[in-house]
Amino acid sequence: MTQSATSDQTIFKGTAPKVLANFRRDARAVVAEGDCLKSLRKLPDNFAKLIITSPPYNIGKVYEKATSLEKYLSALNPIIDELVRVLSDKGSLCWQVGNYVEKSEVFPLDIFYYSIFKERGLKLRNRIVWHFDHGLHASKRFSGRYETLLWFTKTDDYTFNLDPVRVPSKYPGKTNFKLDHPDYGKPSGNPLGKNPSDIWKLILHEWEVGLWNIPNVKANHPEKTVHPCQFPIELVERCVLALTDKNDWLLDPFSGVGSAMLAALRHNRRAIGCEKEKEYVKIAKQRIKDLFSGKLRYRILGKPVHQPSGREKVAQIPQEWLFNGNGK
């Protein structure tokens, strides 16, 4: 497999795996079309090292029908039971959600999901804040600019590989300053970089802003498809690299256009997705083909977010505001 980077996309090439419709332990890629509960019931116990998903948020997207919060959450119970069953003892479950909003009241979904998973014995390792700079501008509250990813493990003996996801240190030249330290005067950091923390803003001069910023997948993003709320592949890549080893299985029970699967396949992991919408299944399969033929456009893990230079028209203060005081 090869990889080359251009200014706004990563090209990756390899031999495309056959995408199966049903799980087989020796498969590399499976897309199970239909209701995920049915597909999950056919899967073996303890096989998935990483379950990562962005479930329907119950906000009336084209693929969902909004109901009361209680009904929405209780409908997910049997699915969550299956997920816990199929999760490996060394495995992780990453649940990415935003807010459910009813009559302008905000219900952060992770608060509700936390107890659902805790009741089933899972242990929270991080509540990761995924921060982005763009989105709707609210008028009656502050504009929402983050979603969260709850990272649970099934046991205390879980896979966690920090080195592949380290980021550059702010002060790599720092040395041990205590005279009685055995390594006094030697560098105190890790040459591979530092722990990326639980706030994911992208590595735009990460050492300056101290955050990771993975851009939300919106219109101008190289990965955008017809799906209304896709995962950025980059977001999943970090979890794949940290929480799985080569050849492990990743499962996304609400796989949409297959973004999580792509992140797994790109790093030599096996991937299974469940998706009820035919159109999204078709796109996911095409994206897998495109990934291996080198046609899939996607953001490089850790590529800096575009910063306006100030010379773009949209980055300049409109003339009307300059002369008339906010146009009035």
Interacting residues toward ligand SAM by CB under 6 A = 35-36, 54, 56, 63, 227, 229-231, 254-257, 259, 274-277, 280
CB of 257 to ligand SAM, least distance (A): 4
CB of 242 to ligand SAM, least distance (A): 18
CB of 54 to ligand SAM, least distance (A): 4
- The two tokens of residue 102 are 């009813």
Rounded distance between C-alpha atoms, residue 207 and residue 218, angstroms = 26
Rounded distance between C-alpha atoms, residue 174 and residue 155, angstroms = 36
CB of 270 to ligand SAM, least distance (A): 18
CB neighbours of 292 closer than 8 A, spacing ≥ 6?
12, 13, 14, 15, 16, 17, 265
Exposure of 34 in the CB half-sphere (CA atoms within 13 A) = 10
Nearer to ligand SAM, 72 or 292 (CB): 72
Alpha helices in the chain (DSSP H): 36-41, 69-86, 109-119, 206-209, 233-243, 259-266, 278-293, 319-324
Nearer to ligand SAM, 41 or 123 (CB): 41
Nearer to ligand SAM, 167 or 263 (CB): 263
Nearer to ligand SAM, 36 or 272 (CB): 36
CB of 299 to ligand SAM, least distance (A): 13
Ordered DSSP codes for 270-282: EEEEEES-HHHHH
Nearer to ligand SAM, 36 or 203 (CB): 36
CB of 277 to ligand SAM, least distance (A): 4
Nearer to ligand SAM, 216 or 259 (CB): 259
Q: Which helix (H) or strand (E) holds 321?
A: helix 319-324
CB of 18 to ligand SAM, least distance (A): 21
Q: Which helix (H) or strand (E) holds 49?
A: strand 48-53
Nearer to ligand SAM, 36 or 167 (CB): 36
DSSP 8-state assignment for residue 123 = E
Q: Which residue is nearest to ligand SAM (CB)?
A: 256
Q: Backbone dihedral region of 103: left (phi > 0), alpha (psi from -120 to 50 degrees) or beta?
A: left
Query: Is 166:192 a contact under the CB 8 Å cutoff?
Result: yes
Exposure of 289 in the CB half-sphere (CA atoms within 13 A) = 7
Query: Is 233:298 a contact under the CB 8 Å cutoff?
Result: yes
- The two tokens of residue 276 are 């009820």
